[in-house]
Amino acid sequence: MAKGTLLITGGAGYIGSHTVKQLLQRGEKVVVLDNLVFGHREALPLDRVTLVEGDMGNAALVEKIFAEHQPEAVLHFAAFAFVGESVTDPLKYYRNNLAAPLTLLEAMQRHGVKEFIFSSTCATYGNPQFIPMNETHPQDPVNPYGASKHMLERVLKDCDTAWGLKSVFLRYFNASGCDLEGEIGEDHNPETHLIPRILMAATGELESITVFGTDYPTPDGTCIRDYIHVNDLADAHALALEHLRKGGESVAVNLGTGRGFSVREIISTAERVTGKTIPVTYGPRRAGDPPELVADPAKAKALLGWEARHKEPQAHIESAWKWMTGPRKGRYAATS
Ligand SMILES: NC(=O)c1ccc[n+]([C@@H]2O[C@H](COP(=O)([O-])OP(=O)(O)OC[C@H]3O[C@@H](n4cnc5c(N)ncnc54)[C@H](O)[C@@H]3O)[C@@H](O)[C@H]2O)c1
């Protein structure tokens, strides 16, 4: 089957822009829909990508995109993703992560577009009942962010039953790292992710990095997470698309390395990579942070042929450091 246009929501964001870069390298044709609330125009090669600046909840705009570009498939990254904010302002999350995508799905149904790749999350599982977590782990999210993603998974299953929508739910663990060439990177505002915050403490942009909790039941007392390189996530999207193009069924897969690293391990690796002593302060545990989150990625390998290529956090930190110390100094706005 000839390759059609791919509609990428949230394609100007962190993971979306890295995926766009890789899809273009694979010869795909891409249209990005992003309202630029958190995305960056400069994260996209605008000579090769059509960027439609607008909201996925805008029915008239979405209809116009489907009529003009007749996308073959939708890769859906657009969402709000601050867990803490989702607890204090749940409706914002249900509006953007659950209600707004319905507009997109209605347009897909009207136009007979039946392939959907969804940026889901390990937050749909809630507190781990066993480690590593596979896709049969019960889904009992502990915050509105995770719940909004879990509910959209349910909507997508119902659309499969009703009109044959085929979806791949990619349940990412902790995305990290940046483009290996240093062209694009992670620029969230506010930045809540561990690795960029550690590097911001290394450059002096932050006074110090706060470690939340040193009394967890883990070998060094700090939380353990599974860090998955953003380029590995991009690979998984390309393979998920291949799966759907071959007529594959709807499926959920975890995207992680299968190995966990503690906060202290990440900090000491960052000290080695940057050659700097990173100022650390210690705070109490944060509510809702489980001691350990590690993926069992076996299903992604068996079904999509996907496996993480960057398994060591050192490679993630090196690429993030390249971005932070490169021409843009880790910020798109720095040069625009
Ligand atoms: N970063 C992680 O560790 C992680 C982990 C699990 C899942 N995810 C999911 O992956 C996706 C991408 O995450 P990210 O870190 O790249 O976030 P991001 O904020 O960098 O990217 C999201 C993009 O979506 C856009 N957007 C948001 N709402 C929109 C709307 N209504 N209409 C149009 N555009 C809209 C934003 O402007 C932004 O460019 C999200 O769905 C997130 O929930 C991320």
Residue 24 placed within a domain = yes
Residue 186 placed within a domain = no
Residues 78, 201, single domain; the answer is: no
Residue 187 placed within a domain = no
CA dist., res. 239 & res. 71, Å (int):
18
Atom of ligand 1 nearest to the CA of 55: 32
Point out the domain boundary residue: 255, 272, 296.
Answer: 255
**How crowded is the C-beta side of 247, counted as CA atoms within 13 Å?**
1
The predicted model gives 313-334 an average pLDDT of 92
Q: pLDDT tens digit string along 7-45?
A: 999 999 999 999 999 999 999 999 999 999 999 999 999
Q: Name the residue with the closest Cα to ligand 1, atom 13.
A: 15
Is residue 304 a contact partner of residue 297, using CB atoms and an 8 Å limit?
no
Give the helix ranges, DSSP H, for the chain.
14-25, 59-69, 83-88, 90-93, 100-111, 144-163, 194-203, 230-245, 263-274, 298-304, 313-324
Q: pLDDT tens digit string along 157-203?
A: 999 999 999 999 999 999 999 999 999 999 999 999 999 999 999 99
Point out the domain boundary residue: 239, 255, 271.
Answer: 255
Q: pLDDT tens digit string along 116-132?
A: 999 999 999 999 999 99
Atom of ligand 1 nearest to the CA of 16: 16
Residue 300 placed within a domain = yes
Residues 251, 265, single domain; the answer is: no
Residues 157, 96, single domain; the answer is: yes
Residue 71 placed within a domain = yes
Q: How confident is the model at residue 2 (pLDDT cuts 50, 70, 90)?
A: low
Is residue 328 a contact partner of residue 185, using CB atoms and an 8 Å limit?
yes
Residues 101, 202, single domain; the answer is: no
Residue 128 placed within a domain = yes
CA of 174 to the centre of ligand 1 (A): 13
pLDDT of residue 334: 52
CA of 218 to the centre of ligand 1 (A): 30
Domain CATH number, residue 269:
3.90.25.10
Pocket of ligand 1 (CB under 6 A): 9-10, 12-16, 33-39, 55-57, 77-79, 81, 96, 100, 119, 121, 172, 174-175, 188
Atom of ligand 1 nearest to the CA of 81: 43
Domain containing residue 217: 194-225+258-335
CA of 15 to the centre of ligand 1 (A): 7
Residue 182 placed within a domain = no
The predicted model gives 59-78 an average pLDDT of 98
CA dihedral 257, 306, 79, 141 (to 10 degrees): -50
Substitution candidate for ligand 1 out of 15, 152, 153, 192 with most atoms within 8 A of CB: 15
At residue 84, does pLDDT exceed 70?
Answer: yes
Is residue 303 a contact partner of residue 235, using CB atoms and an 8 Å limit?
no
At residue 336, does pLDDT exceed 70?
Answer: no
Percent of the chain with pLDDT over 70: 99
Q: pLDDT tens digit string along 286-295?
A: 888 899 999 9
Q: How confident is the model at residue 3 (pLDDT cuts 50, 70, 90)?
A: confident
Residues 207, 308, single domain; the answer is: yes
CA dist., res. 148 & res. 164, Å (int):
22
Residues 239, 302, single domain; the answer is: no
Domain CATH number, residue 95:
3.40.50.720
Q: Which residue has the higher pLDDT, 333 or 131?
A: 131
Residues 122, 219, single domain; the answer is: no
pLDDT of residue 288: 83
pLDDT of residue 287: 83
Percent of the chain with pLDDT over 90: 97
Number of structural domains the chain divides into: 2
CA of 79 to the centre of ligand 1 (A): 4
Mean pLDDT over the full length of the chain: 96
CA of 305 to the centre of ligand 1 (A): 25
pLDDT of residue 326: 94
Residues 132, 24, single domain; the answer is: yes
Residues 145, 280, single domain; the answer is: no
DSSP-derived secondary structure letter, 277: P
Residues with active-site annotation: 145
Find where tokens 């999207």 sit. Answer: 237
Residue 321 placed within a domain = yes
Substitution candidate for ligand 1 out of 42, 93, 119 with most atoms within 8 A of CB: 119
Q: Name the residue with the closest Cα to ligand 1, atom 3.
A: 175
Residues 246, 330, single domain; the answer is: no
CA of 56 to the centre of ligand 1 (A): 12
Residues 323, 246, single domain; the answer is: no
At residue 335, does pLDDT exceed 80?
Answer: no
Q: pLDDT tens digit string along 191-241?
A: 999 999 999 999 999 999 999 999 999 999 999 999 999 999 999 999 999
Q: Name the residue with the closest Cα to ligand 1, atom 9.
A: 119
Residues 237, 98, single domain; the answer is: yes
Q: Name the residue with the closest Cα to ligand 1, atom 32.
A: 55
